[in-house]
Amino acid sequence: MSLSNALSNAMSGLAYAARGTEVVAANIANAQTPGYARREIQLSPRPHIATGGGVQIDSVARVVQQSVLAQHRISAASASGAAVLTSFARDIEQAIGTPGAPGSLTATLADFEAALLGAAARPENEAKLAAVLSTAGALTTQLNQLGDRLQDSRTAADKAIGHDVARLSSGLEQVADLNRRIAVHVAQGDDATALMDHRQALISGLSEIVPLQELPRENGRIALVTKGGALLLDGTKPLPIGFQPTAHIMAGMSAGNPLSRLIVDGAELSAGQMAMFAGGRLAANFTVRDQSAPDLQSDLDRFALDLAQRAADPAVDPSLTAQPGLFTDQGGVPDAALPGFASRIKLNMLADPNAGGALWRLRDGMGAAVPGSVGNAGMLDRLSGALAQSRLPTGDPLATAPRSAQSFAADLSSRAARQRLGAEADQSRATAEHDALSDLLGRDGVDTDRELENLLNLERAYAANAKVLKAVDDMLLNILGLT
């Protein structure tokens, strides 16, 4: 080996040590930076004939396991969606209450039944009749509040969808811009790893909205596709995604009539096409708005209708002809075909002294023209018996066993509890999977101990190459006779 070749090899070693020290310093400095991928220098031996040997720095690579990153993003979407469904289920279970707990639907119904028994024992006592009116009013108020709460949950979910769609659309624009900038840097031979870090963190954040997968393209660019197969970005222009929020949702409103689904490239998706965006927070909010809350609303409406029909049964209140009984649809006869009855159920004003009615109608019937005998407890007994009677609820095609009013209320509470337990179980599984993948992904992150060890190796390499330079320098000085 000639002295010039030895000098060239040592210089390449010093260049590697200097560049390696820079990379190690960057790794340590960004050890806690979200989205930062650890850097590694890619080396290869220089051809001996061309430059006399030595080491060649090919590139500085980002260390990322793409398969683990892809699974991590999918798990993040699942965990985010499960959190939305769990929050909704907990809120509704709390509103309905645990059977028997103070303030629960079953407890309010039990108070009404107890008041009926007390009034039946003392039908002449107006205080007892007032207790029946008060507890019946508390029951209708609670049903109104539950119905309104379900619609408020749907409205909140609709609003959250609008925010997420706006964020997703904006994020895709940013990814497209980063694609352009990265392609320029790569084409010019510049370092684009910092831009790639930013892009990775941005996509991981968007993946909580809808699970996204990367497809590699030339010059460092990527395409983005949902887990369900919707191509959102491939090139420099993302797919336009929109949504039309509704200010206030009412019972009976459904997806497409008039509630908006996703609008992609100017066209609203069908119910089947919405499956392409399944798996994240966006899909979970659509589930709350279009499935979970409406299903619970239907059950609540059936309970309210069952309550009204029991009180309006001619066998219970013979005074009725075509008018409503104790429970009305905002003053009229309950309409089973119109959704949202739980939010509209009201007490019959004919029995409310504050509305111009009279308490004696609780004893003598809503259609009675004049008071009857003050000792007649027949209607109070019949209404109490009707609530305890087991019957099939109207409008429930899945009902197979007759139920009393109290059993019906307990079923509502049980369904809310089951929904909450199922949602919590799904969230636990999704969170555990996400945490495990986060740990696995973190193994490729910056380990400061390993980086300091690499720094010591670079120091030794620098010292060794420096000694070679010193030896070559001494040889050249001897040859020139300068020592």
| Greatest Cα-to-Cα distance within the chain, rounded to the nearest angstrom | 138
pLDDT (0 to 100) of residue 482: 63
Same domain, 48 and 76: no
pLDDT (0 to 100) of residue 187: 92
Q: Is residue 379 part of a domain?
A: yes
Same domain, 217 and 317: yes
What per-residue string of b and e applies to 333-344 under the rule 16 or more CB within 10 Å gives b?
ebeeeebbbbbb
Q: Is residue 423 part of a domain?
A: yes
C-beta of residue 258 within 8 angstroms of C-beta of residue 246:
yes
- φ, ψ dihedrals at 371, nearest 5°: -65, 145
pLDDT tens, residue by residue, 186-241: 999 888 999 999 999 999 999 999 999 999 999 999 999 999 999 999 978 899 99
Same domain, 228 and 298: yes
Strand partners, 224: 214, 233
Reading the block at residue 384, the tokens are 């109490």
Same domain, 335 and 392: yes
Please count the CA atoms within 13 angstroms of the CA of 224 that sit on its side-chain side.
Answer: 28
Same domain, 460 and 332: no
Please count the CA atoms within 13 angstroms of the CA of 117 that sit on its side-chain side.
Answer: 9
- φ, ψ dihedrals at 106, nearest 5°: -65, -35
Q: Is residue 441 part of a domain?
A: no
Strands 258-259 and 254-255: parallel
Identify which of 105, 54, 79 has the alpha carbon closest to the alpha carbon of residue 428: 79
Q: Is residue 373 part of a domain?
A: yes
Query: How far lies 288's CA from each of 87, 218, 264, in Å?
Result: 10, 40, 21
pLDDT (0 to 100) of residue 397: 62
What per-residue string of b and e applies to 7-40 under the rule 16 or more CB within 10 Å gives b?
bbbbebbbebbeebbebbebbeebeeeeebbbbe
Same domain, 281 and 400: yes
Residues in the chain: 483
Identify which of 25, 92, 121, 11 has the alpha carbon closest to the alpha carbon of residue 57: 11
Q: Is residue 340 part of a domain?
A: yes
Sign, CA dihedral 33-34-35-40, equals: positive
* Ranges of the chain with pLDDT below 50: none
- Rounded CA-CA distance 456/450 in Å is 10
Same domain, 128 and 12: no
Identify which of 175, 193, 153 has the alpha carbon closest to the alpha carbon of residue 22: 193
C-beta of residue 147 within 8 angstroms of C-beta of residue 365:
no
Q: How many domains does the structure of the chain reveal?
A: 2
DSSP 231: E
Same domain, 459 and 417: no
3-state helix/strand/coil string of 272-292: CHHHHHCCCHHHHHHHHHHHH
- Rounded CA-CA distance 308/302 in Å is 10
The whole domain housing 46 covers: 3-63+447-479
Same domain, 386 and 471: no
Reading the block at residue 426, the tokens are 């799904």
Same domain, 312 and 459: no
pLDDT (0 to 100) of residue 393: 77
pLDDT (0 to 100) of residue 52: 62
Same domain, 335 and 220: yes
Q: Is residue 182 part of a domain?
A: yes
Same domain, 284 and 310: yes
pLDDT tens, residue by residue, 132-189: 999 999 999 999 999 999 999 999 999 999 999 999 999 999 999 999 999 999 999 8
- Rounded CA-CA distance 9/163 in Å is 58
- Rounded CA-CA distance 403/408 in Å is 6
